[in-house]
Amino acid sequence: MKRFITILALALVCILAMPCLAQASISFDGKVVAGETVAVAAPFGGPTRDIALRKGDLVRVGDAIATIETTLVYAPEAGTVSGVFGQEGDGAESIGTRYGAVVYINPVNRYKISASTEKAHNSSQTKFISVGESVYLSCTQDGTHTGTAVVTKVEPDAESGNSKYELEVTGGEFYMGETVGIYRRSDYVAESRIGRGVVAQNTAIAVSATGSILKMHVHPGDEVERGELLFETVEGVLDGLFAMDNHIVSNVAGVVASVEVTTGGSVAKGGSMITVYPLDSFQLEVNVSERDLNDIHEGDAVYIEFDWDVDGSSRCQGKVESISHVSSAESGAAQYSAYISFEADENVRLGMSAMAYLIDEEDLPAENPVETPAEQDAEAEG
């Protein structure tokens, strides 16, 4: 008996707590529409891949949109990174103009030799030098410093009849400025001598690029192998000096209206990647007959109930933002569109049907929730 009385009391409370709908003089049928669209632009350009979204998807702030391919710049030779002049966010061309390159590498082969066939053995064979041939070195002072080298460049001298050429030392230790004899045979016989040269420091390898530096992978002093990744670049100028990485994320929450990029396609800096209907722009569009125009005004408060929400748990309050001055009806009685703003959550979808109830402020329901029978029984027992 006590249980029956409690449930009856609860029913009476629920009826009394809902005067807004019972006393509402006017209601309007409508549907959820988007008030605006926002384009999410590419912060830099390049080929696109890993497109993560489709039209109609719900997107949150920080959700991935796509990945933009970077240009990978590798070490052309093994050596030690001697200078890193580019930083993440810098324009590679401007760094190259100022410093000559983004990165410099001191090659493993530290020495080079400028040589000539002037002191070569007097024979036709020793006067012809080929790029790429391997040779043997021996210092002219006492022969204690020996090594190997490879010919990297040959420039015939038409006036003297001799050839000037350059070598890169591939083995052995020498002094800077030391004079060495150059031989084709490892026993250094005079008949194989093809000239003489002076040891100098090998030129640091300059590594340049185009675009903007997205990520550096090396630091001064790093040892690198040929083909090792040095840095990555992207097309365009990076805003705010740098980006976190090449994954592009949304800066707006809403529903994807369209996707403008495709896998394997390309996007320019500032180009639209997706267009979004922002959640905070959702409105309820309702039809107002001309006989009801005197009862609804801009700024009026309304309650919104969605057709799918049978228990009213997602009912929310809204405000009339605008009422059209042009009839939306093509024939018959005039109908006008009114737009009601409300706070949409992720359960609200575009095109949903809903009912708007025009409510006086004094009829707004209390904020306190109705107690359940179990809670009322607990209080009675206490």
- Is the per-residue pLDDT at 381 higher than 90? no
Same fold yes or no, 21-69+246-377 and 71-101+205-234: yes
H/E segment holding residue 6: helix 2-16
Q: What is the pLDDT of residues 116-164, one digit of tens each?
A: 999 999 998 888 999 999 999 999 999 999 999 999 999 987 666 789 9
Cα Rg for the chain, rounded, in angstroms? 40
Beta-strand ranges (E) seen in 295-343 are 301-306, 316-323, 335-342
**pLDDT mean over 97-124:** 94
Reading the block at residue 318, the tokens are 């809204």
Lowest-confidence pick of 13-17, 57-61, 101-105, 109-113: 13-17
- Is the per-residue pLDDT at 17 higher than 80? no
- Residue 352: the pLDDT is 96
Contact 169, 111 (CB under 8 A): yes
What is the rounded distance in angstroms from the CA atom of residue 279 to the CA atom of residue 42? 21
What sign results for the dihedral spanned by CA atoms 187, 190, 193, 197?
Answer: positive
**pLDDT mean over 84-88:** 94
* pTM reported for the whole predicted model: 0.67
- Residue 75: the pLDDT is 97
Give the domain ranges of the chain.
21-69+246-377, 71-101+205-234, 111-201
**CATH code given to domain 21-69+246-377:** 2.40.50.100
Q: Which residues contact 227 (CB under 8 A, 6 or more apart)?
A: 74, 75
What is the rounded distance in angstroms from the CA atom of residue 363 to the CA atom of residue 360? 5
Q: What is the pLDDT of residues 51-77, one digit of tens each?
A: 999 999 999 999 999 999 999 999 999
- Is the per-residue pLDDT at 99 higher than 50? yes
- Is the per-residue pLDDT at 9 higher than 80? no
**SS3 assignment, position 379:** helix
* pLDDT confidence bin for 348, thresholds 50/70/90: very high
Q: What is the pLDDT of residues 215-272, one digit of tens each?
A: 999 999 999 999 999 999 999 888 764 556 889 999 999 999 999 999 989 999 899 9
Q: What count of residues does the chain have?
A: 382
Q: What is the mean pLDDT of the chain?
A: 87
- Residue 7: the pLDDT is 40
Fold annotation for 111-201? Elongation Factor Tu (Ef-tu); domain 3 (2.40.30)
- Residue 133: the pLDDT is 96
Fold annotation for 71-101+205-234? OB fold (Dihydrolipoamide Acetyltransferase, E2P) (2.40.50)
Reading the block at residue 97, the tokens are 């103009």
**Alpha helices, DSSP H only, in 268-381?**
373-381
